[in-house]
Structure 1
Amino acid sequence: MAYNKQYIRLQCDGFFDPFVVLNWGGIVFERNFQSKELSDIPHISDSASPLFNDLKQQPSILNYVDILHAGLRPELTIRSYAERYAAVTVFDNLINPIFDNITILYSASDGMNFSNVGSSVRLRNSVLAYNRGHGIVVTSRYGNVTLDNVHIHDNGGDGVHYTLNNTEWSVREQEESPQRLYKSFCETANTVEFPNYFTYRPSAAGTCCTQAFSSLYNTRLTVHFQSVFVGDYRTRFRVEIYDGKFDIMPLLANITFNRTLESLSSYSNELLVRLCHSCDNVRSRACWNQSDRIQLYVVNDI
């Protein structure tokens, strides 16, 4: 951070050199997962994950900085995920940096990329121009990015390019962090770390399981239903969702279904989800199949 508007300029003079090793890449703000993977991009830990970081950690601040000739050229660089080509990336964060008076020019790819952000991002009094890719890219399940007095012009792609993608992020998160693999919905309790993935497999027809969730960050919680599989056309699932950790709290949804549902959200930072199995003929229990299941995940929302 620079005080009294004394600008910091970050510039890579070797940008046009054919050897990609001379390109310094960019700045990445991301959740600090413990990984042995080597990278030539400087990373700044700005995470709020209680598994890896201090809950009292404050957001990073990037003010009064010019970034020229940064980014990575996709055709010359092997990267796991394309968002890391940008001059500045905010990747998979729950607490996001504060940006003010940022100038990004002549990036090899996008100017800024906000990917899978878990809270609101604000960019103020900034300029993004003459970048080979888009000016700003938002690729996430949230996409809450506020631009205040931001000038975006003369970029090779869109000024602001937005994509909502739930399914891709669920795959990425599980690949990058093994503890996020699907857990049994009926056997897991007291979930406070998100996103978290579950498989509901009823033990028999007419049975239910209940799971309570609580966010440490005072954000809403959203349940995404990824897939629903039934082995018999008579099979039905029922979901009850309450705005709190107990079923005496306000009922938000009570839905019977046998196919994928729209996402459902709480109004508070607590949520109770009850999943039940049944047959459309209440006197019959023959519809139960051991392959009947629901795959779902729960995330912090804004």
Structure 2
Amino acid sequence: MNYEISRGCLREMDHMVEDGLGVGELAEVFTSAVQAVKTGGVESLIQLLREHPELAYARSQKGRTLLNHLCDWPGHFPREFETGRALIAAGADVNALAIDPDRGETSLQWAVSANDVAMAELLIDCGAAVDGLNGDLRPLAQALFYGCREAAEMLVRRGATVTLEFAAGLGLTGMLPRFFGTDGCLLPSAGAHTAPVKNAIRPDTTGDERMEQALIYAVINNRIESAAYLLDRGADINAMPSGFHFRGTPLHWVAGGDSAEMVEFLVRRGADLHAAAPKDKATPLEMAEHRKKPDIVRLLKNLGAQR
């Protein structure tokens, strides 16, 4: 999804030519503009935009606009609000898709993935679609996928659609019953399954994954009450729903985090301590070891996990 920016990355940029500027000149100007964006050099950026107006919508060879760079992980760049307003005033498209013009991610998706609430709100104020382009719901999906609670809650305040999956991740347990009929089946109001990332892993079956996806969101965001509600209504605690870069059970996901409480809850509810993830066959214990979570490693071993 997002990539950490380094000085080496800046040196590697070879930028697109627009409006007649020479390749070398545009590359140098764009690189200077990116540095201004990342360091809060608003005055320098404004001067560059005056001299080269096309910078507001130009893209790097990798397909990022300056506004995309501003919103990319880790976000929260110095004077980002002023920088964002300067770019937008100069003509930057708040809904421009980064990297891939057809399947890329918007600046809003990147901002909420970095839990950069201030930047995300500026984008929404300036026309970014709170429910994503064509109502794809990806901003809220990505905020919850990356455990960015403040950003997720802001999106809801700003009018984002809340489906079953999202309500679970947000901890809105009192909202969950409205998605179920008297027969226990999901109602249309539960919404469609929304994969949290672009280029999602295709499901192995054509089955309904919404309950299990909702459970994963609840686990990632440490919403035990919502997780319990879903399990009580039949969610499979050992399922590995599609849509994630890494597929594993709910216990795999929490094993890479810091919530001992959620680990204990899942094991108590029947989570398989030795389930193997389909991609690399890692168990939850191996996931905790890989993510360097010594407290979770000790807890899993105490609960019966073995190598």
TM-score by length of 1: 0.28
More helix by share: 2
Higher relative contact order (CA 8 A, sep 6+): 1
Structure of greater Rg: 1
More strand by share: 1
TM-score by length of 2: 0.27
